[in-house]
Structure 1
Amino acid sequence: MAPMAVALILGWCLVAASRAQQLPPPSLSLHPSQGVSLGDTVTLRCHLPQPAAWVELYRYQNPTYIEQKDNVQDISEFSLTGIKQVDAVRYQCQYQGLEPVGTSQKSDPVELLVTDDRYPPPGISLSPKEHVEMGSNITIQCWNKKYGAAFLLHKDGHSAPIQHQEPDDGGTATFTLFGVTPADSGTYRCSYRIRGCCLLFSPLGDNVTLEVIPRPAPPGVNGGPSRKLVAAVSGACAAAIVIIIVLTASLLLVAQRRQMQSDLRPGDTSRSPEAVQFQVSPGDSEGLIYAQLQAVTPSTHPHGTSTTPEPPTIYAEVGMGGPR
């Protein structure tokens, strides 16, 4: 009986553990996420994928939770007031689900970066110069030999540092921007993490400004790719217009020739009314002239060929001289 009870207990533990592993982890965010100085207040928000019986806030790799909130639906907020040096660490959160029951894994850690204005800002330089052509390699150096443990490169308009670098023996960190483009233009600054402490950083130092100039077009290239494209499109349109004009003229000429050929076909032409010729015979002794009017139809037959019989003779009395 005892072995069976032990087996049941072990099985229940395995089921509970598997359910706990199936719960999706929460996520943690900082507000504000940057520009936090000693003495400020920071809010940490734990975002839950489902309602929870409780939510706990932890320092990274510390098994003891800082604070717990009960009966949370979707977001649990934890406030840290009067930030001190010891607060500049990483944080995680965790929750216990209601359905299914189980404890989630901890969230990914977030870093609370705190600025201590008591430390001097780092120095900064840019080489080879502030105005460079596109594709050049740029070097930005930051230094503070006394306090600098690690350096961060910041660019105005970005919420997080764009690079971080360990310093050399002289306390200088070198950041290289390879093949710069116009998108790399902007203002850069440095800060450093204070040696021997947590996530405590110096204030931002002086700035350098980088301007990336597009490369000029090679000799003999007028206007670059965009103008070449415009010229090619214009040439194609002009050629298409010429082809359309030539085709239209050709079609009109063909139609005109067909019309002329149709008009010249035998039997298709309209014939004008037949001309009538009249022949008049000499008058008699009584002063009358009998005109013999003979209608003669012009012949279309060639000379020397047989024709149709002579048309009938028409006589008309024509008075000559005065009244009788």
Structure 2
Amino acid sequence: MNVSFFFAVFLLFTDLGLPRPTIYLIPRKIIHKGITVNFSCVAMSPIQGFYLYKDGHKLKDLPVELHKTNATFSIPNVNCSHGGKYSCSYTLSYPFMSESSNEVELFVVESTFPRPTISPSPIMLVPPGGNATIQCESKKSSMRFYLQKSGDEMPQQFLETNGTVAKFHIMNANKSHTGEYSCRYSTKSGPFIVSKMSNLTRLAITDPHLPKPSISLIPNKIVMLTDRMRIECTANRSGNRFYLYKGIDKKQLQIVITDGDSVIFPINNLHKEDAGSFSCSYMNQSEFFTASETSDNVTLLVTDLSLPKPNISSENIMFVALESNISINCGWANLNGKYFLQKDDHVMSHHILEANETTFVIGNATLAHGGKYACSYSNTSQPFVISSRSKYVTIQITDPTLPKPGISLSPSGMTRLGSNINILCRAHDLNNTFHLNSTFYLYKIYNIENTGDEKDHRPQIMQPDNHTAEFSVSIVKEEQGGKYHCSYKPPSGPLMSEPSDSLTIFIVDPKLDRPTISMSGNTMTGENVTISCTVSRVKINFYLHKNGNPIPGLAMKTNFDMGQFSIINISLEHSGNYTCSYTVGDNLFVYSSPSEILQLLVSEEPDYTMANIIHCVIGALILLLLGCLMTLDFYSTNVYEVNPQQCSKEESMGGPTLSPALDADPDPAPPTNQE
């Protein structure tokens, strides 16, 4: 009987009421090549013969003995061509046949296919009624993925795909879904030619009635590469099997069975790959598919000393009033990752910033927020490997209801290197009520990035008998220059006062060469003047002082060994006495002695008084000189003679007439007496 005739007969006699047979596959439905497989076909009553079909096509028929209700078809030395769907039918009397049996699928394993992987592995914890996703991945493009539960002959689910990944979803999970799962895949060319089985993953249902475990890191702080770390998991019951998980997908790392109520998971010689987020759970030793809920997550951050330190808020201490906000800035150039805020070497889990943010804000500050803060960062490529921490900034919580103290320096003014000074801090309120027996604190404020060892900058503490604390500094050194604040804590409360105004100590180093000051330009109003300061040094900063004020006020533009300060559009207010000084290098609180005084006199109109005086004096001197010359010339060159022709006439008139005689004898003889 050919196949077409068989189908025709089958269609004609499907309503004969013959019971459908049942087919079984022995030994299993997924086999390796070379194995013999048996198909058993079973009918309800004695029949004459059985027929075996593959994918709807008859393969062989098998007559049976009378009164027999089953038959076995064998396929020895199975190969890939034998994979497919099989069914059977039977006949009571030719040509009448039963309907085909149920179908069984024969999958043949091709050992040359790469083994797929399943995740999460090796365990999934799902709450009752929750959803689970099992992912299967192959290394080659696939057509169909199969999900199989241990104990089931046939895969529970399959997914068609052209890619390398398939995700199987289990909805509204319950105890019937618990068990171990694996997956396989087949290619487009042969849907019944499958890969080897993947690794196993176990699906367990969590029991909300079991106490939730707790997890902690020992030591509970950020650790360095190659350090040792222990992770402790604790349950409120004994005799458990504990599981340690890592990451969001709860990748199982370790299992420890104990008769106690806690276990330690050790991690020795930490590497970058060991950092991450951890949690734990437990099961009763007799259970494998019912577990406790997982603990809260704990994050293990590993410090990589090769990463540069970030920058933090510029000053070493911040005074923050109670119930106000704390703002801490952290930054690093071109960061693509996250910032972490640390308090006393512990990362604050709720204070993590993305790279586009740089300010940590802690609202409604309490006394507990006081302490030492630092920050670090991680890159996106390794989110749990962080940089070394920044310098510390100290947050001091203050009581805004306490009066602000006053601070002063004795002696005042600039301090000579090697001298002795006192810094006075005084506390009283508006009613002049002194806060006796208070503890006073003197803080030096400095730029964090310009300082070295942080432990050298702890506050000085005093508890005087009166309202004033006197902090003495003997033999002043260069490093003691800078900005200071003071505050106090009354004996009646845990909070200290807000800080005083700042006091800056400027130090004069007499060993530094004294600079020279000079001026160029026009001192008339509206004109420009440039004051220059010079000294034979390099890497210096020049400052200009006015009218004897020792505190540097005006920074001069420095060019090697010269500083210049230009006054544009000069006015009368610029008149005064000027000096200059300088600092060397980055020490901005140690100055040279000031230069000589330069007097700047600004006038509104041109002043001709001096020029007029000079001109008058010169004119008078010239006139006097001319007069003297004329007088000398007159007396030295003119002589008078008596003309004899006129003598008698003159005598008769009463006297001689004098006339100059150019040729007269210069030494005439004296006259003689005649009768």
Amino acid at match of 1:121: R
Residue 150 in structure 1 maps to residue 144 in structure 2: yes
Instruction: Give me the CA root mean square deviation.
Output: 3.1
The corresponding residue for 1:36 is 31
Q: Distance in 2 between matches of 1:143 and 1:85?
A: 22
User: Match for residue 210 of structure 1?
Assistant: 203
Q: 1:155 Cα deviation (Å)?
A: 2.0
2:124 & 2:15 partners in 1: Cα distance?
56
Cα distance, 1:21–1:154 mapped onto 2, change above 3 Å: same
Kindly indicate whether residue 155 of structure 2 is the aligned counterpart of residue 161 of structure 1.
yes
**Which residue, 39, 42, 49 being the options, matches 2:44?**
49
* Displacement of 1:20: 7.5
Residue range with higher mean Cα deviation, 112-121 or 64-73: 64-73
Q: Does 1:103 align with 2:97?
A: yes
Tell me how far 1:25 sits from its aligned partner. 2.5
Cα gap change, 1:92 to 1:187, in 2 (>3 Å): closer
Shift of 1:106: 2.2
Per the alignment, residue 128 of structure 2 pairs with 134
Could you tell me the TM-score, scaled by structure 2's length?
0.27
Q: CA deviation at 1:212?
A: 2.0
Shift of 1:43: 0.7
**Contact 1:19 1:102 survives alignment (8 Å):** no
The 1-side partners of 2:176 and 2:160 are apart by: 26
Residue deviations 1:303-323 (CA, integer Å, cap 9, x gap):
xxxxxxxxxxxxxxxxxxxxx
Equivalent position amino acid for 1:46 in 2? C
Higher normalized helix content (fraction of residues): 1
Which residue of structure 1 lines up, in the alignment, with residue 372 of structure 2?
Answer: none
Aligned residue in 1 for 2:612: none
Q: CA offset at residue 183 of structure 1?
A: 4.1
Instruction: Give the deviation of 1:112 after TM superposition.
Output: 1.1
Q: Could you give the per-residue CA deviations for residues 178-237 of structure 1, whole angstroms, max 9, x where no partner exists?
A: 23234433322111123211411111111222332112499xxxxxxxxxxxxxxxxxxx
Residue 145 of structure 1: CA displacement? Answer: 5.1
Q: What SS class does the counterpart of residue 203 from structure 1 fall into? A: coil
Is residue 82 of structure 2 the alignment partner of residue 79 of structure 1? no
Contact 2:178 2:205 in 1 (8 A): yes
Tell me, yes or no, if the aligned pair for 1:20 and 1:102 is still in contact at 8 Å: no
Deviating more after overlay: 139-148 vs 110-119: 139-148
State the 1:137 CA deviation: 1.8
- Summarize the alignment of residues 82-93 of structure 1 with structure 2, pairs less than 5 Å apart: 82-93=77-88
1:58 maps onto 2:53 in alignment: yes
**For residues 215 and 174 of structure 1, what CA distance do their matches in structure 2 show?**
27
Question: Contact 1:182–1:214 (CA<8 Å) still a contact in 2?
Answer: no
Residue 179 of structure 2 is matched in structure 1 by 186
Give, in whole Å, the separation in 2 of the partners of 1:25 and 1:134.
40
Equivalent-residue separation in structure 2 for 1:171 and 1:204 (angstroms): 15
Residue by residue, what CA displacement relative to the aligned partner does 1:31-79 show, whole Å, maximum 9, x if unpaired? 11234111111111111222222222222222x4324224351011111
Secondary structure of 1:148's partner? coil
* Ranges in structure 1 where 5+ consecutive residues have no aligned partner: 1-13, 219-324
Gaps of 5+ in 2: 1-8, 212-675
- Equivalent residues of 1:21, 1:105 under 8 A apart: no
For residue 189 of structure 2, the aligned residue among 188, 193, 196 is 196
Structure 2 distance, partners of 1:33, 1:185, is 22
SS of 1:51's equivalent in the other structure is: coil
Cα offset for 1:110? 1.7
Q: TM-score, normalised by structure 1?
A: 0.55
**3-state SS, counterpart of residue 120 of structure 2:** strand
2:170 corresponding residue in structure 1: 177
**Could you say which residue in structure 2 is the equivalent of 1:113?**
107
Contact 1:85–1:200 (CA under 8 A) maintained in structure 2: yes
Could you tell me how far apart the structure 2 residues matched to 1:68 and 1:142 are? Answer: 41
Q: Distance in 2 between matches of 1:204 and 1:110?
A: 20
Residue 94 of structure 1, CA deviation: 2.1
Does the C-alpha gap of structure 1 residues 132 and 57 become closer, same or farther in structure 2, counting only changes over 3 Å? closer
Rounded Cα–Cα distance in structure 2 between residues aligned with 1:217 and 1:38: 47
Q: Is the 8 A contact 2:29 2:105 kept in 1?
A: no
Change in Cα spacing, 1:19 to 1:210, as seen in structure 2 (3 Å) is closer
Distance 1:124 1:104 in 2: 43
Q: Is the 8 A contact 1:46 1:76 kept in 2?
A: yes
For the residue of structure 2 that corresponds to 1:50, the secondary structure is coil
After TM superposition, give the deviation of residue 86 of structure 1 in Å: 1.0
Say whether the 8 Å CA contact 2:55–2:86 is kept in structure 1.
yes
Question: Does the Cα contact within 8 Å between 1:152 and 1:191 map onto a contact in 2?
Answer: yes
In structure 1, what residue type is equivalent to 2:51?
A: E
1:69 to 49, 63, 67: 63
Task: Tell me if the contact between 1:182 and 1:213 (Cα under 8 Å) persists in the aligned partners.
Answer: no
The alpha-carbon distance between structure 1 residues 215 and 87, as it changes in their structure 2 partners (threshold 3 A), is: same
Cα distance in 2 for partners of 1:210, 1:192 equals 21
CA distance in 2, matches of 1:31, 1:115: 16
SS in 1 for 2:90: strand
> CA separation in 2, counterparts of 1:202 and 1:107?
28
The one-letter code of the counterpart of 2:109 is: T
**Cα distance change on mapping 1:121 and 1:68 into 2, 3 Å:** same
Q: Percent identity?
A: 27
* Contact in 2 for aligned 1:126/1:138 (Cα 8 Å): no
Flag the 1:135–1:26 CA change in 2: closer, same or farther, 3 A.
Answer: closer
SS state of the match for residue 25, structure 1? coil
Equivalent residues of 1:145, 1:170 under 8 A apart = no
Higher deviation after alignment, 17-26 or 66-75: 17-26
Q: Distance in 2 between matches of 1:24 and 1:187?
A: 37
Higher RCO (CA-CA < 8 Å; seq separation 6+): 1
Aligned pair count reads 201
One-letter amino acid matched to 2:152 = H
Partner of 1:44: helix, strand, or coil? strand
